Structure 1
Amino acid sequence: MTAPLPRITSDYAYRRPDPQIDRTVAFRRVALDRDLGRLHAWLTSDHVTPYWSLGAPLPAFHQAIGDHLEDDHVTAYVGCIDGVPMSYVERYWVAADPLADHYDADDNDQGIHILIGPPEYLGQGCGTALLRAMTALAFRHAATDRVVAEPDATNDAAIAAFERAGFEPRETFRFPHEDKDATRVVCDRERFVGAFSPGAIAANGPPADGPAVNHDDATHRCPSGEHGNSTLEADR
């Protein structure tokens, strides 16, 4: 049985500069007392609702998102660019998720769900930067050698963003839990560290198949300026 994902004690769980967009990416844990309104606005946006199922009126949304955040196999974050909240990101243990029924999942595999809220952040390379940063955070857990996701098979922009962040598409399968055809994408630790980590990008430049920063970003569903100290989240 997997352990609950850890809770953090300071504002940012993780923060790092992204040299490919020349901006700082950071994540902090979702707190409904300050995030309910923005999450509801994002999840009811026209570019999000085709891929997420949480776009309900506010009272029902509050109940649904509250119940979702109680799930111990998921850690939910607000993603920030240069301190501005602009995305909702989930990191989860695959072994406790329905995705584990569709491939030979290791107990330490982690998965990512992501959406970008304000539409002005679409098409700016931010989706790939968020994915790179969240993948780096997942690999902070020493036993995790693989990070996976299951974007909608028709969401070409999301799949392309995952590829630019170091993921490789594998099989397409019917995912009844999300009522969609999904493409499993996989990022192995060795490939990520060698080509997509901040150190590798700084030393070698973008990989040959790296991001075209004006052409990525989309919503991937598989469900105001703020600043804080950079604190890495502990492993489980």
Structure 2
Amino acid sequence: MTPDPTSASSSSPSRSRSPARGPYATVVSDYDFEYYDETIDRHIGLRPVDLERDLGRLHAWLGSDHVKPYWQLDEPLPEFRTTLREKLADDHQTLYVGCLDHVPVSYWERYWVAEDDLAAHYDADPADQGVHLLIGPEEYLGQGYGTALLRAMIAFQFRHPETLRVVAEPDARNDAVLAAFERCGADLRREFEFEAEAKTARLVVCERERFEREVWPPTDGAAARQAEVSDDD
């Protein structure tokens, strides 16, 4: 059961598209989810991965020194083409590229936990969604962009009306990702041996109620406007 980005309608008013910078700025795109995040002064967009469009980009990102220890997908390009094709054909997950101001900077796997190996490690609900993530270009690390992008993905996942939890199993050594989840309102729970991915993982759970009460929509302070959210249908 692939997560359906159209299962919930946008609550934002309809606005004409404009390429200008600002809270309503967009370009013609194939984003499934997009909004302007005032906390980082950037447009955020999430679009589905396309094999030919993204193969080289994802191959380079997964071969980066800051990614390899956690993803272990540093494969020769022909092998990675097969890996990515298989991932795209797996109907329990959907792959996304996350963009800042329309520049691709991140990779995401959004999946149904009940159909994943993670379900054996906690009491999974059929509507729980999981997420894997990475930031590709090193120049985007350490500036708060990862938290903003993760916040956007979680908001996107909660647009499915039956999903009450977003769950993850990051490597227990990955302090940066764990901190980003905490800033998005998630609880860091127990560590466990995740044999399916040959790692010691940390169970991370983000509850819809807390996320919508404390985290979403983001603002940059008392004077900030709420972020505008839109779908590109």
Q: What runs of 5+ residues in structure 1 fail to find an aligned partner?
A: 207-229
User: How far is the alpha carbon of 1:204 from its aligned partner?
Assistant: 5.7
| Residues 1:62 and 2:108 are matched in the alignment | no
Q: 1:90 aligns with which of 98, 109, 121?
A: 109
| Residues 1:167 and 2:186 are matched in the alignment | yes
Q: Give per-residue Cα distances to partners, 1:61-90, cap 9 Å, x unaligned.
A: 101111111110111000000100011011
Letter in 1 for 2:214: A
Letter in 1 for 2:66: H
Q: Give per-residue Cα distances to partners, 1:160-191, cap 9 Å, x unaligned.
A: 01101111101111101111111111110110
**Equivalence map 1:157-196=2 (5 Å):** 157-196=176-215
Over aligned residues, Cα RMSD in angstroms? 1.9
Report the Cα distance in structure 1 between the residues aligned to 2:222 and 2:117, rounded to whole angstroms. Answer: 38
| Residues 1:121 and 2:140 are matched in the alignment | yes
Equivalent pairs: percent with the same residue? 58
Report the Cα distance in structure 1 between the residues aligned to 2:33 and 2:103, rounded to whole angstroms. Answer: 14
**Bigger radius of gyration:** 2
Q: Secondary structure at the match of 2:148?
A: helix
User: How far is the alpha carbon of 1:231 from its aligned partner?
Assistant: 2.4
Letter in 1 for 2:231: T
Q: Secondary structure at the match of 2:69?
A: coil
Q: 1:6 aligns with which of 4, 7, 10?
A: 4
The TM-score with structure 2 as length reference comes to 0.84
Structure with higher RCO (Cα < 8 A, 6+ apart): 1
- Asked whether the equivalents of residues 110 and 129 of structure 2 are also in contact (C-alpha less than 8 Å), the reply is yes
The count of aligned residue pairs is: 206
Runs of 4+ in 1 over 6 A off after TM superposition: none
> In the alignment, what sits opposite 1:104?
123
- Asked whether the equivalents of residues 30 and 232 of structure 2 are also in contact (C-alpha less than 8 Å), the reply is no
- Asked whether the equivalents of residues 87 and 117 of structure 1 are also in contact (C-alpha less than 8 Å), the reply is yes
Q: Secondary structure at the match of 2:197?
A: coil
The TM-score with structure 1 as length reference comes to 0.83
| Residues 1:45 and 2:43 are matched in the alignment | no
Report the Cα distance in structure 1 between the residues aligned to 2:167 and 2:222, rounded to whole angstroms. Answer: 25
